[in-house]
Amino acid sequence: MKLRNLFKRSKKGQSDNTEIPIRHVQFNFDEATMSKYCWDDNAFSSAFLLSFSAFIPHGEHFVIDTIRACREDIKDPALKARVAGLIGQEAMHSKAHEEFNAVYQEKGIDLRRIDQLGEWFFKRHLPTILPRSGQLAVACAIEHFTALMAQRSFSELALMDKLDVGAKEFLTWHLVEEMEHKSVAFDVYQELVGSYWIRAVAMQLIPIYTSSIFAYSVQSILRTPGYRQSLPKMVGGFRFWFGLKGYFSKMQPGILRYFHVDYHPSQLETDAALHEWQHRLFSPGGMLEGIVIKTLVSKENQQEAPKGNLQEVSQPKCRSQI
């Protein structure tokens, strides 16, 4: 790769105009039925997942605020409609994570400090040190990383089966929607900024910044009285996530692909998993029957309707609506 190419505006890539549905959901998180170990009955794995769940709502708010701040500068009406879908989905993700986290707070696992760190990092620190172009690049990096997590999680059915029942439906829904809107932030960035090197630097900075936060967060949860397990079992949890053949190691090819000048999220092979899990979750009798209350889509029609108009779509009647 020639050095001068890093400073050129990278190609826009091939996107699509697929509607992004905003599903209003109501998960019934029940403290009595939710184990304190939400992943594979393992203290370390569960502590890492809970750390992620406590931290990520502020990342989702960051993506929402960043994209919303530049929405009026977007010229493509179809992209504007997809932006509305992204914002609606991320808002529901944040709300669901906060409800999920509240259950574990009630169980005596203190997530408040992790929540405060997430708020500081995404609401006060990043907006202070980064211009709009940098914030958009960070939003792209976050969305790429969560799409890779979805791709990785659905690549082996046994991975999702490791989740506690109380977490499985909620996190499966979240990951499916990350695949649905995986290219929106990137397309906004390409239209408004387009610089390769800014997005490449942002992708390198995020893990550097957040690794120490997650190390602290996991340790704070493991210090909860009665939460630690035997050392061999916790080492096994660490290896599952961070080992040479672990969860994140197998994501490295997708992370490296992001640094290609002509990269676009449509290159991630998620379509088969997306269609399969959309059917499993949202078809009549599916996993989320009775949990999805209503579904909206954003319609863009420059001549007939206000931009960003949300319309409800028909869906099978849910148990909660009977």
pLDDT digits (tens, 9 = 90+) for 58-75: 999 999 999 999 999 999
pLDDT of residue 76: 94
Is residue 307 over pLDDT 50?
no
Is residue 284 over pLDDT 60?
yes
Q: Which two tokens stand for residue 111?
A: 């997530």
User: For residue 297, what are the β-bridge partners?
Assistant: 311
310's enclosing H/E stretch is strand 309-312
pLDDT of residue 322: 25
Top mean-pLDDT range of 27-36, 177-186, 208-217: 177-186
pLDDT of residue 18: 79
pLDDT of residue 266: 94
pLDDT of residue 1: 41
Q: Round to whole Å and give the CA distance between 42 and 236.
A: 8
Q: What mean pLDDT is reported for the chain?
A: 88
Residues 64-112 pLDDT 10s:
999 999 999 999 999 999 999 999 999 999 999 999 999 999 999 999 9
Q: Grade residue 320 by pLDDT with cuts at 50, 70 and 90.
A: very low
Is residue 305 over pLDDT 80?
no
Cα three-residue angle 82-264-174, rounded to 5 degrees: 50
Lowest mean pLDDT among 17-26, 141-150, 222-231, 313-322: 313-322
Is residue 33 over pLDDT 90?
no
pLDDT of residue 157: 81
R_g of the chain, CA atoms, integer Å:
20
List alpha helices for the chain, DSSP H. Answer: 43-69, 77-106, 112-119, 126-129, 132-155, 157-161, 165-180, 184-192, 196-222, 231-242, 252-257, 271-282
Pick the residue with more confidence: 66 or 314?
A: 66
> How long, in residues, is the chain?
322
* Parent domain of 39: 3-321
Q: Grade residue 311 by pLDDT with cuts at 50, 70 and 90.
A: low
Is residue 318 over pLDDT 80?
no
Q: Grade residue 304 by pLDDT with cuts at 50, 70 and 90.
A: very low
pLDDT of residue 4: 42
**Per-residue CA distances from 170 to 73, 94, 150, 237, 244 (Å):** 34, 12, 13, 22, 28
Percentage of residues in the chain having pLDDT higher than 90: 80
What is the average pLDDT across 291-308? 63
Domain count, the chain: 1
Q: Grade residue 310 by pLDDT with cuts at 50, 70 and 90.
A: low
